[in-house]
Amino acid sequence: MQAGITQDSTINKLILLFVFDKMEAALTEATILDLCSYKNNWIDFTNCKQTLLDLVQNAFVYKSVPMGGGDELYDLTAEGRWCLKNFYKRIPSSVRQLIADDIKRKRIDYRRSQDYVATYVKCEDGSYDVILKIIEPTKTTLEVKLNVMTRSIAKYLERTWQEKAPTVYSKISDTLID
């Protein structure tokens, strides 16, 4: 699909509403931009940011801050669902199919990228603090802070956290609750 499939702001709004509907979860702005602009070019970056702002201002999408901290989350309102239900056919069927297929294949990866968060910072002594989190819309489920000696270990933990987070959580939970 070509970048910026349309400059029609109405179609862009419907595409974004369709993406929310297919993802079936609240999304961060970074996830929205990655999914719609960077990886797929369904809506170009500038129009995507403006479209999201317009949808929030018109109460088709609401913005919330997770209780446990983290990035703001966006999700459909009842008005947004109603609008999509009544006007989704204005999105070309080929575009709807492309979006649905892509989201079906990558939904778990996008959810992991925003729910399993890892960062690291250098300490005064030259070591690194690595903060690993599992974040849900209403709370932080797990937050672990590790101190490691090298940047390469910190980067490795940051890079692998998304795939290891469920296993780590399960093992900690099983060990403590046993």
pLDDT in tens, 99-153: 999 998 888 777 777 778 889 999 999 999 999 988 776 677 788 999 999 999 9
Tokens 């090298």, residue located: 150
- Report domain extents, the chain: 9-108, 115-177
**Exposed / middle / buried, residue 76 (Cβ in 10 Å: 0-12, 13-18, 19+):** buried
- Domain spanning 9-108, CATH architecture: Orthogonal Bundle (1.10)
54-75 pLDDT, tens digit each:
999 999 999 987 665 667 889 9
Rounded to an integer, what distance in angstroms lies between the CA atom of residue 36 and that of residue 106?
12
pTM, full prediction: 0.70
